[in-house]
Structure 1
Amino acid sequence: MLMKKAFVVSMVTAAVSTSVVGAVSAAPVAKPVAAVKVQQSSLKINGNAVSVRTIVRNGETLVSVRDLIKALSAQADVRSGITTIKLNDHTVVLKTNSKQIIVDGKASNMSQPMTNIEGSSYTAIRPLVSGLGGTLVRNAGAIEIRTVELLEGAENPRFAGAGKMIASKSDENGRTDYLIDTASGKYDLLLTTSGGSDLVVSPSGDKAAYSSAEGAVYVLDLNSKASTLITDDNSIKPELVWSADGSAIYFLQGDKGSVIAKLSLNDGSITKIVEDKVDYKENLSVSPDGKKFIYTVTTLGKVTSDTTNIDEDNVSIDFSSNQVQINSFNNDVSNSKAVSLTSSTDDKVFVVSGDGSKAYYVSVPSTDEKATLMSVDSSQRVTKVFADNDVEQLVLHNNRLYVLAAQDDASSVIYAIDTLTGKQTKLYTVSSDVSSIAVSVSQIAIVKNDQVFVSADNTWKPVTK
């Protein structure tokens, strides 16, 4: 009996074993879960290239939380699987293996949970960047992140060396100037003035000159932010122009801009160059050798009524005599006198000169015709340079003319014209909302709807808001 019972048990065991083995053998072999590949990816964060670990899961890029925190210079606290990140007055809370993201106290869900791979947490990059107040765009397949708070309401942008720009904000208390990094958008306070002139950047790009409301001239070091008094002469100086070698500053002197003078930065001495009692000089240009000058002179309307009290309502003024003419002066000639290069009655704006002999300007007709770019040389020969579109602005930089012109109701164009060869190159087509441009050696800036953008990597990047 015992042997028979043992035999039966043995048979049952064998049958069960056979069934299990058969079932296992019959089932399809499960595929192993594919390992997630961690790779080093290059991102651009606030204009700087950084390398971070990333993975791609379910078609979405996840980034190493630790790497991104370091690249953003954010503050972080990790406790019991909960990561708290702070940047720019924003707080983001993430939890391992959870899809929930809490931004400034408000919870929402991501498409995938934060997960731990090889000892490091990974999460979706876009909601994390957005939660920290940043923006993320893909440019030519590359990810670009910006988290810097941009300067708001800035105006009058001008470049100050490579990758730097000065912009200003004005209110009833005066003007404040800022130095902006064009790559990151970070900005620093430069100067606060009341009634002073604009900052005029030196040829080297590391200094800027300005005059106070009282006429004193200062030079501001853009690196140290320190100002040095050059002269406390109290004559009004409405325009400052650096010499090519940075050793002197030329300026128009007096409330009517009657005199052209030179200020030595070495000893603060002032030398008068043109003192012909002709008022309303403007748009001063100085040749590289400091011997030739181009400027405009404006003649004002004439009072035609018999009254001698110009405050009375019945005073009549003939504005038809208002004219802007371009003058030249050669200080290299003994007994030199100013020469009028033009005599036409058209309005002349954006007058510039690179060599002190030939002047370029935008001619604005009194009719509805297009404004055109013109040149006039020392022999008073006037030449049409650019007339394809209605010219809105002219900038001269390193022997190149940059023209902003209206193309149609929706768009404008930016052209570069070589002053030596006359070759014209179309650089950009932009929105008709672009109101002005600024130029450096490597970049062009545009102002669109009171916001400043710079050219970079075949796109326009905002540097103010």
Structure 2
Amino acid sequence: MLMKRALAVSVVAAVVGTSAAGAASAATPAKSAASALQVQEATFAVNGTAVPFRVVRSNGETLVSIRDLGTAVGAQISVHNGVTTVELNGHKVEVKLNAKQLVADGTTVSLAQAVRSVNGASYIALRPLVAGLGGTVAVYGGQINVSTVKLLEGAENPRFAGPSSLIVSVTGDDGRTDYLVDAKSGKYEQLLHSTNASDLVVAPNGAKAAYTDSDGAVYVLDLATKVSSKISSDNNIKPELVWSADSSSIFFLQGDKGSVIAKLDPASGTITKLLDDKVDYKANLSVSPDGTKFIYTVTTLGKVTSDATNVDEDNVSIDFSANQQQIFSFDSTVAEGKPVQLTTSTDDKLFVASDDGVKAYYVSVPSEDQPAKALVVGQDQKTSTVYGDSDVIETVLAGGKLYVLASVNDANNGIYEIDLASGSKKQLYTVSAEVSSIAASGSQVAIVKNDQLFVNDGGVWKPITK
């Protein structure tokens, strides 16, 4: 056991010091019949998947099998007149046995030592070969990571579609394109391109997403087949869509002012009105797991205080101090039941969400120069602080947990997890103050830093977009 550990440490040290700062796991070595060099096995993460490689240690440097690496990344490998050519994603690397250089896309790159042959296989330093193929080598979670994936650029609005992938959007002059990004490798594929679609709202089962067009029609996109199906042609504007907990129904606000709460059956296209109280400007809809209780906000607008009736005239006065956003709840099972106003305060209320349709969690931003706090309010209209240790930037509700991004100091932000059942709180990560947003799914957390998306891998933030 001690010998095996010592062997692993020697392989790690060699890779760290030369071709790929990092760690490798070594297996039982075997003596080469054709050389004094020892063939060992090391495991690297290649585009998010653990892959075993044959490696040898020569002159204090660890070299990797060219064929093993080429196969792992899906490259084309050919040998002609003693030159091994490796081609991937438009890049070409040419390697010659016993040469202390390689040629990458026509440019000569020097090597610390010559390409070696052991047991009929050619070995080379990892980093220059990967770099020549347009990839990168880094260490995450104590393991060497090889990435040859071309990362998506300019992605925004990340949201998880299950624990292993995220949906992101890229907006251009010709509309918005939505992509599905693998959370481990950064591989991405296009889901939808549109000039008039609303944001994709992922179902809890992670298999589909819903959206509307500018006419109010509702579509469901199958994330596996990338095929969209129109499930309703109703032409009422639907500013918000919310999936039921079992992913079988879609709740939404109806009308350009969000006056109505309604339910859509995707199978039949049937729409059922659940609340039509003629109150406009509803938003931030949350639905209980059983689909009967609702939390939402209502925004009241400024009041015209002059006698003029034409608001287009310059002499009209409007009192904007009447602008307020309040949180309401509604229980559709109560006969003749009416919405209940949960809050009356004048603070700004952001990131309003509920996991049970009864309590509402939100970020309170005082009008004074005071830090924002994460609060909860219940049916008794009493509020309490969920997180108030430092200025809250954002909250995300996922899987019975409230994830809080808060400012710690000028250099750092903290990410905290609050268990809603027990009220226990723990800090998950300390991140740069440049982190502006988070996404969460279960225990998986993603962050946005300088418009780049990262996921945590073994305590290290790994980029999956650029």
Q: TM-score, normalised by structure 1?
A: 0.91
For 1:361-376, list aligned pairs within 5 A. Answer: 361-376=362-377
Counterpart CA distance in 2 for 1:134 and 1:34 is: 31
The answer to whether residue 152 in structure 2 is matched with residue 151 in structure 1 is yes
CA contact 2:302–2:319 (8 Å) conserved in 1: yes
Residue 393 of structure 2: aligned partner = 392
1:34 CA displacement: 8.1
Query: What is the one-letter code of the residue matched to 2:362?
Result: Y
Residue 166 of structure 1: aligned partner = 167
1:308 CA displacement: 3.0
The answer to whether residue 262 in structure 2 is matched with residue 261 in structure 1 is yes
Q: Which moved more, 1:298-307 or 1:437-446?
A: 298-307
Name the SS of the counterpart of 1:247 in structure 2: coil
Counterpart CA distance in 2 for 1:407 and 1:379 is: 32
Counterpart CA distance in 2 for 1:79 and 1:436 is: 51
For 1:248-327, list aligned pairs within 5 A. Answer: 248-327=249-328
For 1:50-199, list aligned pairs within 5 A. Answer: 50-139=51-140, 141-199=142-200
Counterpart CA distance in 1 for 2:102 and 2:35 is: 27
Counterpart CA distance in 2 for 1:173 and 1:124 is: 44
Residue 10 of structure 1: aligned partner = none
Query: What is the one-letter code of the residue matched to 2:201?
Result: V
For 1:406-445, list aligned pairs within 5 A. Answer: 406-445=407-446
Deviations 1:396-453 (A, max 9, x none): 1111110000111111001011111110011000011111100012410000000000
CA RMSD of aligned residues (A): 1.3
Counterpart CA distance in 2 for 1:151 and 1:316 is: 49
Residue 20 of structure 1: aligned partner = none
Q: Calculate percent identity across the aligned residue pairs.
A: 58
1:140 CA displacement: 5.2
1:459 CA displacement: 1.0
Residue 451 of structure 1: aligned partner = 452
CA contact 2:218–2:230 (8 Å) conserved in 1: yes
Query: Residues 140 and 463 from structure 1, CA distance in 2 versus in 1: closer, same or farther, beyond 3 angstroms?
Result: closer
1:315 CA displacement: 3.0
Residue 41 of structure 2: aligned partner = 40
Residue 29 of structure 2: aligned partner = none
1:314 CA displacement: 3.3
Counterpart CA distance in 2 for 1:142 and 1:333 is: 56
Q: Point out where structure 1 has 5 or more consecutive residues left out of the alignment.
A: 1-32
Name the SS of the counterpart of 2:109 in structure 1: strand
Higher RCO (CA 8 Å, separation ≥ 6 residues): 2
CA contact 2:362–2:374 (8 Å) conserved in 1: yes
Counterpart CA distance in 2 for 1:366 and 1:441 is: 33
Residue 9 of structure 2: aligned partner = none
Deviations 1:252-284 (A, max 9, x none): 000000100000122110011110110000000
CA contact 1:292–1:330 (8 Å) conserved in 2: yes
1:186 CA displacement: 0.7
1:196 CA displacement: 1.6
Counterpart CA distance in 1 for 2:347 and 2:307 is: 29
Name the SS of the counterpart of 1:256 in structure 2: coil
CA contact 1:194–1:213 (8 Å) conserved in 2: no
Name the SS of the counterpart of 1:77 in structure 2: strand
Query: What is the one-letter code of the residue matched to 1:406?
Result: S
Name the SS of the counterpart of 2:68 in structure 1: helix
Q: Point out where structure 2 has 5 or more consecutive residues left out of the alignment.
A: 1-33
Name the SS of the counterpart of 1:138 in structure 2: strand
Counterpart CA distance in 2 for 1:236 and 1:426 is: 41
Residue 223 of structure 1: aligned partner = 224
Deviations 1:93-121 (A, max 9, x none): 11111112111111121111112111111
Counterpart CA distance in 1 for 2:331 and 2:193 is: 37
1:157 CA displacement: 0.6
CA contact 2:140–2:457 (8 Å) conserved in 1: no
The answer to whether residue 342 in structure 2 is matched with residue 341 in structure 1 is yes
Counterpart CA distance in 2 for 1:321 and 1:89 is: 61
Q: Which moved more, 1:266-275 or 1:167-176?
A: 167-176
Counterpart CA distance in 1 for 2:401 and 2:265 is: 28
1:162 CA displacement: 2.8
Query: Residues 352 and 140 from structure 1, CA distance in 2 versus in 1: closer, same or farther, beyond 3 angstroms?
Result: closer
Residue 24 of structure 2: aligned partner = none
Deviations 1:64-110 (A, max 9, x none): 11111111110122112111111122111111111121111111211
Query: Residues 198 and 139 from structure 1, CA distance in 2 versus in 1: closer, same or farther, beyond 3 angstroms?
Result: closer
Counterpart CA distance in 2 for 1:364 and 1:241 is: 25
Query: What is the one-letter code of the residue matched to 1:300?
Result: L
Query: What is the one-letter code of the residue matched to 2:192?
Result: L
Counterpart CA distance in 1 for 2:277 and 2:235 is: 21
Q: TM-score, normalised by structure 2?
A: 0.91
Counterpart CA distance in 2 for 1:335 and 1:395 is: 33
1:181 CA displacement: 0.9
